[in-house]
Amino acid sequence: MDAEQKILDAALKVFANDGYTGATTRRIAEEANVAEVTLFRKFQSKENLLKEVLIKNRAEISELDNLFRIDKDVDIETDLCILGKNIVKDLKDKKKDSKHRMFMFMLFEEGRRRPEVGEILTSVFQMYITRLSEYFELQIKNKKMRNINPRSAALTFVSYFVYTSLLRGVVDDCFLGNGDEEIERFIDIFTNGILKAEDTQVRRGNGNNY
C-alpha cells in the first residue's frame, strides 16, 4: 500500500474516532506510520485531507446506484422489500467495521458547519432520492399508487435505511430487531400505512387525502 492510501485510511479512522476538530495531522501521520511532513507534502492541509477522504467515500457510495435497477413489473411491496434488503446488504458489505459508520456520524455533524461537507453529503443522498422518486412517479402514472409527492415518499423510504444503518453497531442490535423481518415490517407500514382500511376510506371521503 502506498503512502497516500495509508494516509487516507488513517484519516478515515482518526476522523471517525476524534471528529474533524479533534483530529490532528500528527495523529493521522502516526496512525499511517508516515512522517507528518509526508502528509503535508501530499495533501497540504487537514481540510484537503478531509475532502479527499470524502471524495473517495462518495465514489464508493455511488456504486449503490445499481441497486435501483428494480423490476418495474412486479408488485410495489415486493419491489421495495427487495430494494431495502439489497441496500442493507450492500451497506453491511462496505461497512464491516464501525469506523465508516462513525465517520458518517462525524460528516452529519460537520455538514452543519462546513458547506463543502454538506454539499458532498447532499450529492450522495440526491442520487438515492432521484432514482426512487422516478420509480414512484412511474407507479403513480400506472395508477399503482395514489397521487402523492414522489420525492417525499422517496425521502421517507431512504431516511429509514440511512438512520438504521447509522444506528447499527452503536445501539444494541436487539433494539433494531431481526434485519429481514424488520425490513418487511417497515415495507408493510410504508405501503399500507397505520390506519385501518375503513378509517382510511373515511378520511379520503372527508377530503383528507395527504
- Taking domain 50-205, whether its CATH number is 1.10.357.10 is answered by yes
Q: Which superfamily, per CATH, for 1-44?
A: Homeodomain-like (1.10.10.60)
Look at residue 171 in the predicted model and tell me its pLDDT.
64
- What pLDDT, in 10s, does the model give residues 59-104? 555 555 556 665 656 788 888 888 888 777 766 655 445 566 667 6
Are the beta carbons of 68 and 132 closer than 8 angstroms?
A: yes
Look at residue 170 in the predicted model and tell me its pLDDT.
64
Look at residue 202 in the predicted model and tell me its pLDDT.
47
How many other CB atoms are found less than 10 A from the CB of residue 10?
Answer: 22
Length of the chain: 210
Look at residue 59 in the predicted model and tell me its pLDDT.
57
The C-alpha atoms of residue 137 and residue 145 are separated, in whole angstroms, by 9
Output the tens digit of pLDDT for each of the chain's 210 residues.
688 989 998 998 898 888 888 889 999 999 999 999 999 999 998 888 888 887 776 655 555 555 666 565 678 888 888 888 877 776 665 544 556 666 766 777 777 777 767 776 777 678 778 888 988 998 899 888 899 999 999 999 988 887 887 776 666 666 666 678 888 999 999 998 888 766 555 455 555 554
The C-alpha atoms of residue 10 and residue 112 are separated, in whole angstroms, by 24
Are the beta carbons of 101 and 163 closer than 8 angstroms?
A: no
The residues spanned by each domain of the chain are 1-44, 50-205
The C-alpha atoms of residue 7 and residue 72 are separated, in whole angstroms, by 43
Whether pTM > 0.85 for this model: the answer is no
